[in-house]
Structures are given as C-alpha cells and as structure tokens.
Amino acid sequence: MKRRRPKLVVVGSINMDLVLRCEHLPLPGETRHAIDSREVSGGKGANQAVAAARMGAEVAMVGRVGSDGFGIQLKENLKQAAIDTSFVWETEQCSSGLAVVMVDRVGENSILVSSGANGRLMPDDIQQADAVIAQADMMVIQLEIPVETVVAAVDAAKRAGVPVLLNPAPALRDLPERLFSVDILCPNQNEAEILTGQAVETVEQAKRAALKLLERGVRIGVVTLGSQGVVVATRDRTELSMEAGVAVHVPSIEIQAVDTTAAGDAFAGALATFWSERMDIREACRHACVAGALAATKLGAQTSLPWRGEVVARINEL
C-alpha cells in the first residue's frame, strides 16, 4: 500500500544565514579571520519546513520575509523545496531575518540573529492562514516569531483539532502556560533547563526534565541531547512502544560533526513527519535522531538537511 504523505503546516522564522567558518570561535573583544563565508537560506521555521519536505511531508509555510533581495531569494528557495508559500508574505520597508553563524573546526557554532520581518508576523496573519492550518495533520512551530503569534497559532490548531509540535527555541523563561498544552514539546538540553529550572546534562537528568514537562501539561516531552540522542516521555497510553509516565532514552548514531547549526531543525522536521505517519513515538524519535545526526555532518543550515532515503538507509544498517 502506498504511504500517504502527511500534511504539515510550519509557522515560523525565515532567515538568510551568513555562515563564517573559523578555526576557533572568537572570544569577547577578539578578532579572528574566517576560513571562508557563504550565504545559506535558514531560519528555524524554514529549516524545519525543508527538513519535513525532505522526509516526504507535504508542507505549507506561514511566515514573513522582507522587501529586500534576501526576501525574494528566501521565498524562491522554499518554492524550490516544493513548499507551499501562499502564506509567506512580503513585508514592505522591512529587512528579511538575518543570522550571522560562526562555525569552528569541530562543528560548534555561535549565532547572532536579527529578526527583521519575522518580528512582524502577527496574530492577524494566523487568522488569514486558518484554512491551511485546519487542513494539516500537524503544526510545527518555534519561538523565533512574536510569542503572541505563537499562542495564536497554537490556539488556531487546537480549535481545528490539529496536533502541535513546539520546538521552544530560543527558550523563554516565562513561556506562556498555554504553550505547555501542546502535543509534543522538544527542547534541547539548555532549553529544557530553562523550562524546568533543573540541570540537564546527563540522560538521567533529561529523563527527569521530560517527566517535568508532562507535569506542566505536555502530552509528549522530548529532550534532545546532541550526540547522546534523546529522552522521550509520554502521558498517552496509545503510544505502543511506551509506558505512560516513563521516560525512555533513544540513542543516536556516531558521526563526525562538521556543523551542528540545523541538526535540531532536522530532528524536529523528521519527528513531525514520522509521527504524523502514525509511527510510534519511540521509533519516530529514532528516525529523527538519525536525521539530526546526518545534518551535523554537512556545513550550513538547509544545505545540510538529509533526505528520507538517507535516513531510512542508515536506520536499516543499525
């Protein structure tokens, strides 16, 4: 039987990334020479949209670009990734979102972001996108747009009975309580520490953090741990490979990291796609871990995102 492509709607940021490779990240007050530089389409929202499309999902993007040259380029890039851009609006007299990404020789990065048009995505825009939200199998959203817009989007999805995956990045210490009612919340270690108020350095600490997210109202808590994989906990007894209220560690694969910039976005896009295909949450996390790891083996944001065939082939080798 032919697999049905899930329909995802991604609400979030669209940036141009200026990527600078260097031997070591500069210290405060220090000037270093870059090895090279390049322009790469990015933004957490756009990255996760492209990641999901490469995993086989049918994706619509909701966001804003500026009235500059980057805006034209960013929207065209989404179209080339087979993403519906009907709800990506151009914002007059405003620059597009911009990120300066510095990557060292071991793949660690430091990022400075200017929101630009992303900061102009308003709750009224969400109302205009109600129809595409209602038709989706899942919404994917992050925090690189105004938080009131995130709340409006989550509320719109809930009214339509559409599950929501929230990647709480960058993390907010005062995340609105309503955003803890999402179906999947997937922070990384640092974000989980901010959201739970407890250290998240080990797998055991991540398990406690994932369970803490369930206490806050999250249906499925997923804490990503980089090379250590992820920890997942669920309140839903219908997740076949999981016992409700128990946190489980899902390991990743060994890779040689080149650039970790979009690894988390690859994970989120893959997790949303595979879970929307009715794959149980532990197996969906396993596939998403492979997607995130493969993304870290290449330079750049969207240029590093793997295709479904690459992920499945690697899973079959395990």
Q: Rounded to the nearest 5°, which phi and psi values hold at 310?
A: -65, -40
Eight-class DSSP state of 244: T
Contact 98, 113 (CB under 8 A): yes
CB 283, CB 241: distance < 8 Å: yes
Q: Considering the chain, what percentage of its residues have pLDDT values greater than 70?
A: 97
| Pair of tokens at residue 287 | 């596939």
Stretch among 84-98, 212-226, 238-252 having the lowest mean pLDDT: 238-252
Cα–Cα distances (Å) from 120 to 111, 113, 123, 124, in that order, read 21, 15, 10, 10
| Domains, in order of start, for the chain | 7-15+43-96+118-317 (3.40.1190.20)
Q: Which helix (H) or strand (E) holds 175?
A: none
CA distance 195 to 211: 12
Rounded mean pLDDT of 289-306?
Answer: 91
Helices (H), ranges, 24-182: 44-54, 69-80, 123-128, 130-134, 147-159
pLDDT in tens, 236-261: 765 545 666 789 999 999 898 887 87
pLDDT tens digit sequence for 103-128: 898 878 888 889 999 999 999 999 99
The pair of structure tokens assigned to 13 is 């940021």
Structure confidence at residue 238 (pLDDT): 58
Share of the chain above pLDDT 90, in %: 83
CA distance 224 to 139: 19
Omega before 170 within 30 of 0, i.e. cis: yes
Return the biggest CA–CA distance within the chain.
60
Query: What is d(CA 218, CA 287) in angstroms, rounded to the nearest whole number?
Result: 22
Nearest-angstrom CA–CA distance, 255 and 87: 37
Which H or E element spans position 107?
Answer: none
Q: What is the pLDDT of residue 103?
A: 87
pLDDT attached to residue 37? 93
DSSP codes of every residue in 178-227: GGGGSSEE--BHHHHHHHHSS---SHHHHHHHHHHHHHTT-SEEEEE-GG
Half-sphere exposure of 289 (CA within 13 A, CB side): 26
Catalytic sites, residue numbers: 265
Q: List, for residues 150-174, the tens digit of each pLDDT value.
A: 999 999 999 999 999 999 999 999 9
Residues 231, 214: Cα–Cα separation, whole Å: 13
Model pLDDT, residue 151: 98
Rounded mean pLDDT, 289-309:
92
Average pLDDT of every residue of the chain: 93
Per-residue model confidence as pLDDT tens digits over 300-310: 778 899 999 99
Distances (CA, A) of 224 to 157, 180, 181, 185, 231: 24, 17, 19, 11, 7
Looking at residue 233, its pLDDT comes to 95
**pLDDT given at position 52:** 98
296: helix, strand or coil = coil
C-alpha–C-alpha distance, residues 33 and 15, integer Å: 24
Q: Quick check: 39 and 69 in contact, CB under 8 A? A: no
Mean pLDDT of 193-210: 96
pLDDT in tens, 7-66: 999 999 999 989 899 999 999 999 999 999 989 899 999 999 999 999 999 999 999 999
Beta bridge partners of 7: 58
pLDDT of residue 246: 84
Q: How far apart are CA 2 and CA 289, in angstroms?
A: 25
For the cut 90, the answer to whether the pLDDT of residue 182 exceeds it is yes
**For residue 272, pLDDT beyond 70:** yes
Q: What is the pLDDT of residue 303?
A: 87
Q: Residue 235 has what pLDDT?
A: 86
Distance CA 197, CA 62 (A): 32
